[in-house]
Amino acid sequence: MDFVSTLSVLATVTSFAIQLIGMEMSFRIVQKGSTADVAPAPFIAFFVSACVWLKYGLMMGITSVILTSCLSAVLQFLYICIYYLYTNKKHFLHRLLLIGLFILFTPLMYVDFYETEVELASRHLGLYCCVLSVMCYASPMATLSEVLRHKSTDSISLPLCLINFVSAVEWTLYGLAIQDKFVTFPNFIGGVLGILQLSLFVVYGFKHKRGRPSIVNT
């Protein structure tokens, strides 16, 4: 197995492992019979991101992106279904789903029906994928003010930050190896954000509670 193939396998396995984090949240929902402390937005956001990356992978013929995104989309869809069954705020969830579908189908319709030049369509879709991935990587930073204010890492998860960082590094190296800037750039940014998140544990210590999950695709 050559270097590129090794990176592809490692990145795919790590990304799939990250997606399984949502399973723990789903089990918690089923056990409690309620979605009380779980927000639906991450499930929808990561489903949309996975679907858009799947389309990009198909357009560019990148097997690892196709496999990772397909598995991610299936798992996130299952998590959304479980959430839907147990939530008592279905009207709110409906609104989020409509927003998610708009964000998903707008670029897909653009590349399929509007932009006839495949190279330009793939470039535009790649940029869209970059934005989605950077937003996913940056989501744990939403608690940054809380960490700085309390000088505590209680609100973030060290294992999750670490595995997200490893995944970002793997995908960055893989993107460089296949010379795809749309794979490389968002994951490089993810790696930088990962270093910032991990540095918080160095500054404020490693004792923390379970943080808010942040699942990232490619």
User: Rounded mean pLDDT of the chain?
Assistant: 86
Confidence of residue 217 (pLDDT cuts 50, 70, 90): low
- pLDDT value of residue 99: 94
The mean pLDDT of 159-170, rounded to a whole number, is 88
> What is the predicted pLDDT for the residue at 187?
94
DSSP label of 155: T
Question: Which single residue is written with the structure tokens 């690892």?
Answer: 64
- List phi, psi (to 5°) of 182: -75, -20
AA letter at 47: F
Nearest in space to 115 (alpha carbons), one of 168, 59, 179, 185: 59
Share of the chain above pLDDT 90, in %: 50
What is the mean pLDDT of the segment spanning 65-76?
Answer: 94
- Cα end-to-end distance, the chain, whole Å: 21
- Burial of residue 37 (CB within 10 Å: 0-12, 13-18, 19+) is exposed
What average pLDDT does the segment 160-189 reach?
92
CA–CA separation, 65 vs 56, rounded Å? 8
